[in-house]
Chain A
Amino acid sequence: MRFKGGALVVGALAVALTAAGCSETTNDDGGGGTTENKTQTGSISYEAADNAGPAKPVDGAQKGGTITIMQVADFEHLDPARNYVNVQQLTGGLIYRSLNGYIEDGSGKMLLVGDLATNPGTDVNKDCKVWEFKLRDGLKYEDGSPITSKDVAYGIARTFADELNEGPHYIQSWLYPGGAYNATYKGPYNGGAATPEGIETPDDKTIRFNFKDPHCDMPYAAALPTTSPVPQAKDTKGQYDLRPFSSGPYKVKTYTRDNVLELERNTNWDPNTDPIRNAYPDGFKFTFGLEAQQIAERLVADAPADQASMTWTDTPPAVLPRTTQPGVAERVAKGPTQYVWYLGVNNQRIKDINIRKALYYGLDRDAALKAIGGTSAGTPASTLMSPTTAGFQAFDVYNAPATGDPAKVKEILGSTTVPPLVLAHSNTPLRTAQAEAIRAGLAKSGFQVTLKPIEATSYYDEVGRKNNPYDLYLHGWGSDWPTGSTIIPPLYDGREIVEEGNNNLAYFNEPSINAEIDRIKGLPAAEADAAWTALDKRIMTEFLPEIPAYYDATHVLYGSKVGNAFLSDAFGALQVNKVYVKQ
């Protein structure tokens, strides 16, 4: 009796040892292919066929069943005004609709079409300053009442409120240029106007945006949850997070924070009005509070109760080797995302570009990736923009080998002495292992690096302080829509540096680059894509403010009864609009 537990553990280890001892670990990936970088062919479609509902049916898909999504942590926010995280936006997209949305089929082809709107927005004067959207007929909320353009305007208005400030602020700052987005207008609460200046709703089906400057990216910005309709009568302010009023195919059935969120069908949603969502399952169930390891092990095991489950949590490195075995390998979704990870260099401290160039060659990208799971976690990067960006062209200014080039570092530095460097990192096991790999790699080139662990929850707050005391920090950035305009300006426009909460973590401020950013922002979409790529190359060649480390990739598992699971290029995660439960 007493040794039962002990014997079991020893037995399990013995079995594992025997199994592992017999087979050789090789570098052959079993034909699954490493993460290939597919260039996104995203475009805005005004074709009537693309913009008309219902969504194109998926071959072999059946209605019914419930998809379970296993997650480590609960969502921070589901309120459309506060929703700024990719998986939250995917979830939000099941409950509420925006003016625009993305149609994807898993082939890498992505179309931006009208969601609530009949098309992705009309540029009224052909100068990108006035945008008009017409709502579809037959749009209804979960209680059967009609969705009006006034609700869309109200939804945007409440994103100005101080207490709901976590969401994206593109449209807001375009409406009120110069200064903070809500410096003048603070939303409809406390007696504020119900509609921000510059938004007109001449009738219940039309909404018009009047900007002072040209913003040709408006169709993309309108795909963010900012433009989701919120009826004024249903606005519960801070409590709206827990129960957004449904305009999409599902509504909230139960929501217990940090535990479970259940969605059930919204019977008032008409598939004929929706070109994007198929909504095959009868419901979705999100379970929170699981360990990443536990999720991956359960999905590998594929027990009957977990067969209709999937996750957005990347497979931990320790489970990766087991995902190549038959029966599991075909239930893996992997590929690049829109995120790029940079070795941020604090330009306030490291002013000498030669030191930054030396760091570029000294960085062991291969080791940094292997510390977090190898090619499943990403591929070495040489550009500031992700390969998923529209108009992306691969280039490599410095041609550094993936494992670093200590000889080149010495050649660049010559007699320059590099001060001891402090590398801040988020204090999680994986990020710590990665920071140690980066430290060991830089040490090979003679850099003296000290590791500084920071609690994961306050990591970006700490490195986002303008006067932070660190030299190096790894940070990730993903575009909000696939053009350079949500990568280069937030990261490298020096005029946006503030005291706290910076995205420009290199603290890079160069007037000529700021001016070029302004010029490109005024270009029509087609020309802008190429111009952003050219600017990327120019920044890399002339300034090298920070060091692109690797292009992020995701590797997730799903159960054997989840049909049509593929990665959404718009969100860099498994999509939920077109999945179904295999009966």
Chain B
Amino acid sequence: MRKTDSTPDAPGAVTDGTSGNVALEVNSPVDVPADQGPKKEFVGRSPGQLAWLRLKRDRTAAISAVTLAVLTIIALLAPVISKLRGISPTQPFTEKLNYQSIPLGYAGGMSGTHWLGIEPGNGRDILMQLVYGMRTSLLIAFASAIVASTIGVLIGIVAGYARGWLDAAINWVIDLTLAFPFLIFALAVIPIVEDNFFGERDAIPASFRVILIICTFAMFSWTYTARLVRGQVITLREREFVEAARAAGAGTRHILFRQLLPNIWAPILVTLSLNVPAFITTEAALAFVNIGVVEPTPDLGRMIFNSIPYVASDPWYTLWPGLTIFILVLAFNLLGDSLRDALDPKSTR
């Protein structure tokens, strides 16, 4: 990070009169040489612009963002990739497995046709399984994070502003939800809901299980955002600008969504960005207890689960999905960290 590079004994760097290292760095455009200081005019910037500038300077954030963009585009283009390569994710290539159903050839069956090799057992193309599996994982993680944050913000802002019995009641619900064991709930609810909606012979559409998982995640994860937002609102609700708005005759809705909400975007954005990787890993964990996304829908978590026993006999099969989820989660976490730094430069790391 750059922060430590700028030493106090380089006075030339201090050009625009603002104080503090971080603000100073952010406000000085890199291409302006130090000796042109006197010509420089003071530039007014909103907090959002400042944060964006800080984020742009952060190389970790840039690399993470590019990685994520590339992976997301690959995931979104899954059907196109499938068409271009002429391989569908569930197409079996069992003729390319040996008598013990291990891929023939070198390095897990890697070849010009199968760039990352093929799965032992079912003989499916690993690259196509990964691309489609990533699509499922990202969809579940993003959708859950957005739904959970939306619910959390709405409930949190109401609880924080309401005081009295409503606040107490909402707090009680939050505590209850936090105390509820998530995995046990998921184990009990997912199969039952499915049986309720679909008959014994109905083909359960893949989207239904996905939506069910998203709902389960959202149901349990809104509490963190809600608590955070409630705390923020409580600190803000006595501030002068709120008093002023109230004195000017603003309604509750106006105060909540026009006065308070814009001031707490930063922590919400950070939790949102850190929720996504958490959901990716939790969704993968569901596969381990047999309630994740079901065959034949490709899924990153299930792929990891199935590949782990092969670590000694066909390590390539374990490597690719493991590496993918590792990169995905790491990039999301680093980006979330950078986002937090950019939005709130005072916070210590």
Measuring CB to CB, which residues of chain A are less than 8 angstroms from any residue of chain B?
12-13, 16-17, 20-21, 23-27, 29, 34, 293, 297, 316-322, 324, 364, 366-367, 369-376, 403, 420, 422, 427, 429, 432-433, 435-437, 439-441, 450-453, 469-470
Which of B62-70, B240-248, B261-269, B306-314 lies at the interface? B306-314
Q: Residues of A contacting B109 with CB < 8 Å?
A: 25
Which of B14-22, B46-54, B96-104, B176-184 lies at the interface? B96-104
Contact partner, B92, options A29, A293, A318, A367, Cβ 8 Å = A367
Question: Is there an interface contact between B104 and A25, defined as CB atoms closer than 8 Å?
Answer: yes
| 10 A-B pairs with the lowest CB-CB distances in the bound complex, closest first | A318-B309, A370-B101, A16-B315, A450-B203, A321-B313, A469-B200, A367-B94, A374-B101, A27-B98, A436-B295
Question: Is there an interface contact between B99 and A374, defined as CB atoms closer than 8 Å?
Answer: yes
Q: Residues of A contacting B122 with CB < 8 Å?
A: 367, 370-371, 433, 436-437, 440
Question: Is there an interface contact between B99 and A34, defined as CB atoms closer than 8 Å?
Answer: yes
Q: Residues of A contacting B309 with CB < 8 Å?
A: 293, 316, 318-319
Which residue of the partner chain A has the closest CB to B120?
A317
Q: Residues of A contacting B310 with CB < 8 Å?
A: 318
Question: Is there an interface contact between A21 and B101, defined as CB atoms closer than 8 Å?
Answer: no
Q: What is the distance, in angstroms, from B311's C-beta to the closest C-beta of chain A?
A: 6
**CA A146 – CA B305 in complex, angstroms?**
56
Which residue of the partner chain A has the closest CB to B98?
A27
Produce 1/0 per residue, B315-349, CB < 8 A to A.
Answer: 11011000000000000000000000000000000
**CA A34 – CA B98 in complex, angstroms?**
12
Question: Is there an interface contact between B295 and A17, defined as CB atoms closer than 8 Å?
Answer: no
**CA A367 – CA B200 in complex, angstroms?**
26
**B91, B100, B101, B121, most chain A CB atoms within 10 A:** B100
Q: What is the distance, in angstroms, from B119's C-beta to the closest C-beta of chain A?
A: 9
Q: What is the distance, in angstroms, from B193's C-beta to the closest C-beta of chain A?
A: 15
Question: Is there an interface contact between B201 and A320, defined as CB atoms closer than 8 Å?
Answer: no
Which residue of the partner chain A has the closest CB to B290?
A427
**CA A534 – CA B203 in complex, angstroms?**
40
**A25, A317, A322, A432, most chain B CB atoms within 10 A:** A25
Contact partner, B100, options A23, A320, A435, A452, Cβ 8 Å = A320
**A27, A318, A370, A433, most chain B CB atoms within 10 A:** A318
Contact partner, B315, options A17, A23, A25, A375, Cβ 8 Å = A17
Q: Residues of A contacting B95 with CB < 8 Å?
A: 366, 403
Question: Is there an interface contact between A13 and B319, defined as CB atoms closer than 8 Å?
Answer: yes
Q: Is B271 an interface residue (CB 8 A)?
A: no
Which residue of the partner chain B has the closest CB to A18?
B315
**CA A72 – CA B1 in complex, angstroms?**
53
Q: Provided the pairs A13-B315, A373-B100, A433-B121 are in contact, do residues A452 and B92 lie with their beta carbons within 8 angstroms?
A: no
Which secondary structure characterizes the binding site on chain B? loop
Report 24 cross-chain contacts, Cβ distance below 8 Å, ordered by A residue.
A13-B311, A13-B315, A21-B107, A23-B106, A25-B105, A25-B106, A27-B99, A293-B309, A317-B121, A320-B100, A320-B101, A322-B313, A364-B94, A367-B94, A370-B97, A370-B123, A403-B94, A436-B90, A436-B296, A437-B92, A441-B92, A450-B201, A451-B294, A453-B294
Q: Is B301 an interface residue (CB 8 A)?
A: no
Q: Provided the pairs A319-B309, A320-B313, A429-B306 are in contact, do residues A24 and B106 lie with their beta carbons within 8 angstroms?
A: yes
Q: Residues of B contacting A441 with CB < 8 Å?
A: 92
**CA A452 – CA B191 in complex, angstroms?**
12
**CA A420 – CA B200 in complex, angstroms?**
13
Contact residues of B between 276 and 307, Cβ < 8 Å to A = 290, 294-296, 305-306
Which residue of the partner chain B has the closest CB to A455?
B191
**CA A433 – CA B314 in complex, angstroms?**
17
Q: Is B133 an interface residue (CB 8 A)?
A: no
Q: Is B108 an interface residue (CB 8 A)?
A: yes
Q: Provided the pairs A435-B295, A437-B92, A450-B203 are in contact, do residues A17 and B98 lie with their beta carbons within 8 angstroms?
A: no
Which residue of the partner chain A has the closest CB to B191?
A455
Q: What is the distance, in angstroms, from A321's C-beta to the closest C-beta of chain B?
A: 4
Question: Is there an interface contact between A17 and B296, defined as CB atoms closer than 8 Å?
Answer: no
Question: Is there an interface contact between A433 and B311, defined as CB atoms closer than 8 Å?
Answer: no
Q: What is the distance, in angstroms, from B247's C-beta to the closest C-beta of chain A?
A: 54
Q: What is the distance, in angstroms, from B120's C-beta to the closest C-beta of chain A?
A: 7
Which residue of the partner chain A has the closest CB to B323?
A13
Q: What is the distance, in angstroms, from B72's C-beta to the closest C-beta of chain A?
A: 26
Contact partner, A25, options B91, B102, B290, B306, Cβ 8 Å = B102
Contact partner, A374, options B97, B108, B316, Cβ 8 Å = B97
Question: Is there an interface contact between B104 and A20, defined as CB atoms closer than 8 Å?
Answer: no
Q: What is the distance, in angstroms, from B246's C-beta to the closest C-beta of chain A?
A: 51
Question: Is there an interface contact between A16 and B120, defined as CB atoms closer than 8 Å?
Answer: no
**CA A403 – CA B318 in complex, angstroms?**
27
Contact partner, B314, options A20, A369, A370, A450, Cβ 8 Å = A20
Contact partner, A451, options B97, B98, B107, B295, Cβ 8 Å = B295
**CA A12 – CA B322 in complex, angstroms?**
14
Which residue of the partner chain A has the closest CB to B305?
A429
**CA A485 – CA B121 in complex, angstroms?**
35
Which residue of the partner chain A has the closest CB to B314?
A20
Which residue of the partner chain A has the closest CB to B315?
A16
**CA A16 – CA B105 in complex, angstroms?**
16
Produce 1/0 per residue, B180-211, CB < 8 A to A.
Answer: 00000000000000000001111100000000
Which residue of the partner chain A has the closest CB to B88?
A440
Question: Is there an interface contact between A373 and B101, defined as CB atoms closer than 8 Å?
Answer: yes
Q: Provided the pairs A16-B311, A370-B123, A374-B99 are in contact, do residues A27 and B201 lie with their beta carbons within 8 angstroms?
A: no
Which residue of the partner chain A has the closest CB to B106?
A24
Interface contacts beyond A17-B316, A370-B101: sample of 15 additional A-B pairs, CB < 8 Å, sorted by A: A13-B315, A25-B98, A317-B100, A318-B314, A367-B122, A367-B123, A369-B101, A372-B121, A420-B203, A422-B200, A422-B201, A433-B306, A436-B295, A440-B92, A450-B201
Q: Provided the pairs A25-B102, A367-B94, A436-B295 are in contact, do residues A20 and B201 lie with their beta carbons within 8 angstroms?
A: no
Q: Residues of A contacting B108 with CB < 8 Å?
A: 20
**CA A439 – CA B124 in complex, angstroms?**
13
Q: Residues of A contacting B315 with CB < 8 Å?
A: 13, 16-17, 20
Q: Residues of B contacting A432 with CB < 8 Å?
A: 295
**CA A373 – CA B99 in complex, angstroms?**
8
Q: Residues of A contacting B313 with CB < 8 Å?
A: 20, 318-322
Question: Is there an interface contact between B99 and A29, defined as CB atoms closer than 8 Å?
Answer: yes
**B105, B199, B296, B318, most chain A CB atoms within 10 A:** B296
Which residue of the partner chain A has the closest CB to B104?
A25
Q: Provided the pairs A17-B319, A319-B309, A453-B294 are in contact, do residues A375 and B314 lie with their beta carbons within 8 angstroms?
A: no
Question: Is there an interface contact between B101 and A469, defined as CB atoms closer than 8 Å?
Answer: no
**CA A453 – CA B203 in complex, angstroms?**
11
Q: What is the distance, in angstroms, from B82's C-beta to the closest C-beta of chain A?
A: 15
**CA A450 – CA B104 in complex, angstroms?**
30
**CA A524 – CA B111 in complex, angstroms?**
60
Q: Residues of A contacting B92 with CB < 8 Å?
A: 364, 367, 437, 440-441
Q: Provided the pairs A322-B313, A450-B203 are in contact, do residues A371 and B102 lie with their beta carbons within 8 angstroms?
A: no
Q: Provided the pairs A24-B105, A427-B290, A440-B296 are in contact, do residues A16 and B312 lie with their beta carbons within 8 angstroms?
A: yes
Question: Is there an interface contact between B94 and A26, defined as CB atoms closer than 8 Å?
Answer: no
Which residue of the partner chain B has the closest CB to A300?
B312
**CA A432 – CA B123 in complex, angstroms?**
14
Question: Is there an interface contact between A374 and B294, defined as CB atoms closer than 8 Å?
Answer: no
Q: Residues of A contacting B305 with CB < 8 Å?
A: 429
Q: What is the distance, in angstroms, from B329's C-beta to the closest C-beta of chain A?
A: 14
Q: What is the distance, in angstroms, from A23's C-beta to the closest C-beta of chain B?
A: 8
Q: What is the distance, in angstroms, from B341's C-beta to the closest C-beta of chain A?
A: 22
Q: Provided the pairs A367-B123, A469-B201 are in contact, do residues A322 and B295 lie with their beta carbons within 8 angstroms?
A: no
Q: Residues of A contacting B97 with CB < 8 Å?
A: 370, 374
